[in-house]
Amino acid sequence: MELRHLRSFLVVAETLNVSRAAERLHLSQPALSRQMQDLEQSLGVSLFVREKGRVSLNDAGRALVEHARELLARSDNITSHVQAISRGECATVEVGYAPSLAAELLPLVLERLGRTHPSLNLRMHDLSSDEMNAGLKEGTLHIAYTVGAGVLQESGLIKETLVTYPICVAMSRNHPWARRKKIELADLPQAMLLGYARHAYPEYPKFVEGLLATAGVKLGRMEEFDSASSLLLRLESGVGVALVPWSFACNTTDRVVYLPVSPEVPPLDLVMCWRRGQDWPGLRTVREVSAACGLEIRQRRALWPNGPMGPAPAKKKRVVSR
């Protein structure tokens, strides 16, 4: 049984007319008839009820229709898969990421790659900056989305800045500070500070200590959480505040508000980072799509009149002429 015979059979089954089927297949009628006879002979059954001037499917023919469609679809998938491998597009890419900082970008990247390069398999790893540096250096990671300042310069790594996010203070809408316009850094030790656990993200407490030092205050007790989701739950409960990049807002609902800090502090860069010399097609595709998505975010942000923490631009009302 040959695949070309099954393809011809499906056209005959659809048209129930050998002449029209032969025309669609660009075959002579005798050649198509011989193909159907060869198919029946290979299966050892008759597939058609043949009457003068017309054909119809018998029970075996109707059963073969579904099997033929499934088999041909699988054949097409095999062909596409093998061709993708030959182009270097079918691969597993090991990805490290910082969950708060990459919360806006990565869903766009994964959605687009799923549509345009379904053969690529991205395995995602929520890691600290130190773990991403080590993974890239050792080869257990192919690419990382991390804080720009945390990338080790001596590790032979290349980085590309995708998006820049201001630092803000997140809190419940019911928090006593929620009506303020800005949050003074010097006031933060008076609040219950929430943040990421030292054992999971050792760079985070250092980051907070550095910001508070610019205001001349020290970090006191900080309630620690080992994931963005657990930190968010605590914020939504109305207890405590957290210093986070504005990208953290992509994880949350309108129960949490984000206020700028005063004095203004340097923003955080979300960078895409990979090892020098790594340039195989699958990885290159991920980098190109990530860069395009980063550009889209930056362009969209430029349209916001009051910056990323201000309200989004109002949608223009559609005028319908009568």
Type of residue numbered 56:
S
Q: What is the pLDDT of residue 322?
A: 44
Q: What is the pLDDT of residue 308?
A: 58
Q: Where do the DSSP E strands lie in the chain?
A: 48-51, 54-57, 92-97, 121-126, 143-147, 157-165, 167-172, 183-184, 193-196, 222-225, 241-245, 256-262, 268-275
Higher pLDDT among residues 312 and 278, named by residue: 278
255 & 242 share domain = yes
Q: Please say if the pLDDT value at position 321 is more than 70.
A: no
104 & 217 share domain = no
Among 108-122, 192-206, 295-309, the least confident range: 295-309
- Per-residue pLDDT tens over the stretch 8-24: 889 888 888 888 888 88
182 & 132 share domain = no
Range of the domain at 111: 92-164+269-302
State phi, psi for 257 to the nearest 5 degrees: -115, 160
36 & 82 share domain = yes
Tell me the average pLDDT across 242-247: 93
Q: Please say if the pLDDT value at position 130 is more than 80.
A: yes
Helix/strand/coil for 173: coil
Tally of domains within the chain: 3
Give the CATH number for residue 62: 1.10.10.10
Q: What is the pLDDT of residue 29?
A: 87
Q: Which residue, among 92, 131, 128, has the nearest Cα to 286 in the 3D structure?
A: 92
51 & 106 share domain = no
Distance CA 97, CA 99 (A): 6
113 & 175 share domain = no
Residue 203 counted as domain residue: yes
- Per-residue pLDDT tens over the stretch 54-107: 788 899 989 998 888 888 887 876 666 566 666 555 578 999 999 889 999 999
Residue 319 counted as domain residue: no
Residue 311 counted as domain residue: no
pTM (predicted TM-score) = 0.68
Residue 248 counted as domain residue: yes
141 & 65 share domain = no
- Per-residue pLDDT tens over the stretch 138-197: 889 999 999 987 777 667 889 999 999 999 999 999 999 999 999 999 999 888 999 998
Q: Which residue, among 235, 245, 164, has the nearest Cα to 201 in the 3D structure?
A: 245
Token pair 């041909």 is found at: 72
242: Cα separation from own chain's centroid: 26
Residue 313 counted as domain residue: no
159 & 273 share domain = yes
How much is the mean pLDDT over the chain? 86
Among 216-220, 267-271, 272-276, the least confident range: 216-220
Quickly list H helices, 16-58: 18-25, 29-43
Give the CATH number for residue 212: 3.40.190.10
